[in-house]
Structure 1
């Protein structure tokens, strides 16, 4: 157990704090876990500690191609060599995971531990299945973390609280908050599909050019543009409370079979939405 090997970690520690301590152990001492920078054009030609790799990937000047190449390498190591590299991947993604967890629990009055655990669980699950042949690996990992955390938060918020006020009738809650959260809830309520949430999240929140997304999805620019317009119209109806004509099943989105988002994360993240899913850490995970 990490709580018995990492100083300062107790049974009451938040899951992401435990992860932070475990990652710190990997990059300290005389033989820190490292990556050969010579494998990647654009990185220093030497062995790089994992925290150095994280910092380089988070720089705004870091090309997306370099981020994807490094993340593909890290995920492959996690899949083939196991625990050390799984912790390495999660530690390098920690700024994004903290951002996601912070956004989800910013107005959550109860113990956020379960939500934080779900964020981490979503990331780890996606680590085993994320398609490494497609670009923006980290954004899709983040989106998966956001979707998982959002589901846990939604479950916690939907759990009845014993109180007199619970007996009184109330109006439906209008979706609000961070755009990633709104997208995730719209997907859960059936207003738009996860594919459409990914399209909106990538192009509107992550600022990925529509032409780039169209090329990634194997669709024309015009078809992708129209698909986004249809999805955004239904999302607008949903946000206004008009639920009679927002089903994505009849939208003819033109992007069926494409990557779900997102949030993640969602991204939500991720899920390249969460984006939704993202805190005590600055808004930096999009660069990783």
Structure 2
């Protein structure tokens, strides 16, 4: 039983923030602790301060911002001049801030994430080498650098497929993959939709805005707005369909995307009326229908009736 507990302990991953915490404890409380001369910085006790005591003083809300900035300016410069010990000292001094960043990023995730913690610490250390210490608010800027790198890593994780048994094929990632707002934003980036078309779809399909209200705000007619939305959703559906087909046949991501493609024709009064009026053999969709005689391009274009607003 003792051996089993020992083996379990050995296989438990060491979290990066725990490593920072342990290293800082050694630097601040070892036989030769790192200290900062408080006589050099206004607002600190006029003596050599161990780093753990210094951190406690800086965390006090009564500590002046100018004092905190002066301390962090000194710490950053020492890390660049004296190397690894002071780099670790800076990470330890910022540990409460880094732990707060990790908590904020992992509120919706179960358990601890060593990879995310590593990204947060990496973002902090990368900024430590380049942050401008002449400008004020040194620590907040270091914290935001750590947050940005951690957030980017978290977004990549949430957007990537997760291996599942059997065969460890790709599985549908957790949200926000496939969120309608993200789909519309990606379609705008890929030039499938204009910003106005994405706003029209998002406002009238996802929000409570009616087409008539949207048209009134954008100084166009409801009929023109319906036509614009129908054309835009047709292009969007084709784009999502082609994107899904680029994946493997047994990819559940592709299946989910294909099954979720909007049936836009039945939702629009304009397209519904046209469908009812059309009869087999009367639609001009053959090679000689004349659809491509003007301009000769299959690239979607916008008619003068389409509202285009930044």
TM-score w.r.t. the length of structure 1 is 0.55
Q: What is aligned with 1:270?
A: none
Q: What is aligned with 2:152?
A: 151
What are the equivalent positions in structure 2 for 1:1-288 lying under 5 Å apart?
A: 12-109=13-110, 112-162=113-163, 166=172, 172=179
Contact persistence 2:162–2:171 (CA under 8 A): no
**Over residues 19-58 of structure 1, what are the superposed CA-to-partner deviations in whole Å (9 max), with x where a residue is unaligned?**
1000000111332111000001110000000011111111
SS in 2 for 1:132: coil
Q: CA RMSD in A?
A: 3.3
Contact persistence 1:9–1:18 (CA under 8 A): no
Name stretches of at least 5 consecutive residues in structure 2 with no aligned partner.
Answer: 1-8, 165-169, 190-197, 204-310
Which stretches of structure 1, 4 residues or longer, exceed 6 Å deviation after superposition? Answer: 8-11
TM-score w.r.t. the length of structure 2 is 0.51
**Over residues 76-120 of structure 1, what are the superposed CA-to-partner deviations in whole Å (9 max), with x where a residue is unaligned?**
000010000001100000000001011111212476111110000
Residues 28 and 162 of structure 1: CA distance in aligned 2, closer, same or farther (over 3 Å): closer
Shift in Å, 1:160: 1.4
In 1, the alpha carbon distance for the partners of 2:40 and 2:11 equals: 38
Q: What is aligned with 1:255?
A: none
Shift in Å, 1:166: 2.8
Contact persistence 1:15–1:116 (CA under 8 A): yes
Shift in Å, 1:127: 0.2
Q: What is aligned with 1:286?
A: none
Q: What is aligned with 1:208?
A: none
SS in 1 for 2:22: helix
**Over residues 191-216 of structure 1, what are the superposed CA-to-partner deviations in whole Å (9 max), with x where a residue is unaligned?**
xxxxxxxxxxxxxxxxxxxxxxxxxx
In 2, the alpha carbon distance for the partners of 1:173 and 1:134 equals: 40
**Over residues 219-278 of structure 1, what are the superposed CA-to-partner deviations in whole Å (9 max), with x where a residue is unaligned?**
xxxxxxxxxxxxxxxxxx99x956xxxxxxxxxxxxxxxxxxxxxxxxxxxxxxxxxxxx
Residues 16 and 156 of structure 1: CA distance in aligned 2, closer, same or farther (over 3 Å): same
Name stretches of at least 5 consecutive residues in structure 1 with no aligned partner.
Answer: 1-7, 176-185, 191-236, 243-288
Q: What is aligned with 1:263?
A: none
Number of residue pairs the alignment of both structures matches = 176
Shift in Å, 1:172: 1.1
Shift in Å, 1:10: 7.9
SS in 2 for 1:57: helix
For the pair shown, the structure with the greater C-alpha radius of gyration is 2
In 2, the alpha carbon distance for the partners of 1:144 and 1:95 equals: 15
Residues 173 and 25 of structure 1: CA distance in aligned 2, closer, same or farther (over 3 Å): farther
